[in-house]
Amino acid sequence: MPDDRIPDDRIPHDDPAGRSDDLDSSGQQVASRAAFRARALLAAGVACCLGLTVLAQTRPRVADPAPPAPAAAADASGRVEPEVASRARARASASPARSATDEDPDTVTARPEPTRPAPVAGLTRAQMDNAEAIVRAGREMGVPRRALVIAVATAMQESTLYNVASGVLPESQRHPHQGVGWDHDSVGLFQQRSSSGWGPVGRLMDPEFATRQFLTALLRVPGWQRMRLTDAAQAVQVSAYPGHYARHEGLATEVVDALLPSVG
């Protein structure tokens, strides 16, 4: 019976060399693919790092929060506040308290000085000031208006309402005066004589003192309120011209009425 097997020499066998070549080619492809993936991963890693670096540089920096103060610092601040408050209270108590009546110099309006009455009846400023001194002294003595009119009229006649010194008494000229007369030793608004007992020369040169001396003598005259002005003045002055005082009554009345509202 014939042998159906194929002879060994006819059976094809894989060429070991060919297999080796195939294996080498496949290995190279695998290695190539592995190297490519490795390079891709490396490139991706580098790109990721670069991106993170750029992001970190472009991001605004936020200041780190300050660490919480230690408990000791809190205790110290707690101690300082009472000390500050204590010092503030000490300064407040040391400052003198202002009373409700104290006035703030920055907000208080300056009080205007009382204005002097303008001269009337043709008088000068000096004459008006002397008449005011007469009226003021009389008001302080509490004499009535009629006595003031008599006093001003008398000074108008005796000295024309100027405080006159005496050329006979050099002592009188050492005091403030507004002229010099030569009627014996008569001085001042009322031309009173120290030698007749009216008072010291220096005092008689003071308009207030001279007025008080005249009014004191007038108040001693019995019934002076019912007398004519010229008679009442003459009873005090004992002048050589007793009727001359009457001529000044109208002007003296005008002057006194102008001064009384300001003198009070």
Question: How many Cβ atoms sit within 10 Å of the Cβ of residue 137?
Answer: 23
- Which residue did the predictor score with more confidence, 40 or 235? 235
How many distinct structural domains can be found in the chain?
Answer: 1
Residue 229 lies in a domain: yes
Residue 235 lies in a domain: yes
Q: What is the pLDDT of residue 238?
A: 95
- Provide the terminal-to-terminal Cα distance of the chain, rounded to the nearest Å: 182
Nearest alpha carbon to residue 213 among 239, 242, 190 = 190
Q: Which contacts (CB < 8 Å, 24+ apart) does range 2-10 have?
A: none
Domain residues for the domain of 232 are 125-263
Q: What is the pLDDT of residue 190?
A: 99
Cα-based angle 252, 254, 255 (whole degrees, multiple of 5): 65
Residue 105 lies in a domain: no
3-state secondary structure of 199: coil
DSSP secondary structure letters along 43-94: HHHHHHHHHHHHHHHHSPP-PPPPPPPPHHHHHHHHHHHHHHHHHHHHHHHH
Q: What is the pLDDT of residue 121?
A: 87
Q: What is the pLDDT of residue 116?
A: 83
Give whole-number Cα distances, 167 to 92, 171, 172, 192, in Å: 67, 9, 8, 14
Tens digit of pLDDT for each residue in 196-249?
999 999 999 999 999 999 999 999 999 999 999 999 999 999 999 999 999 999
Q: Which residues contact 167 (CB under 8 A, 6 or more apart)?
A: 173, 180, 181, 182
Nearest alpha carbon to residue 163 among 135, 139, 190 = 190
Q: What's the half-sphere exposure (Cβ side, CA atoms, 13 Å) at 171?
A: 11
Question: How many Cβ atoms sit within 10 Å of the Cβ of residue 152?
Answer: 27
Q: What is the pLDDT of residue 23?
A: 39
Q: Which residues contact 159 (CB under 8 A, 6 or more apart)?
A: 181, 188, 189, 190, 191
Contact assessment for residue 258 and residue 120, using Cβ atoms and an 8 Å cutoff:
yes
Residue 210 lies in a domain: yes
φ and ψ of 183, to 5 deg: -90, 80
Residue 188 lies in a domain: yes
Residue 88 lies in a domain: no
Q: What confidence tier does 115 reach under pLDDT thresholds 50, 70, 90?
A: confident
- CA-based Rg of the chain, rounded to a whole angstrom? 63
Contact assessment for residue 167 and residue 184, using Cβ atoms and an 8 Å cutoff:
no
3-state secondary structure of 192: strand
Tens digit of pLDDT for each residue in 130-167?
999 999 999 999 999 999 999 999 999 999 999 999 99
Fill in the amino acid letter for 68: P
- Which residue did the predictor score with more confidence, 104 or 144? 144
Q: Which two tokens stand for residue 182?
A: 């030569």
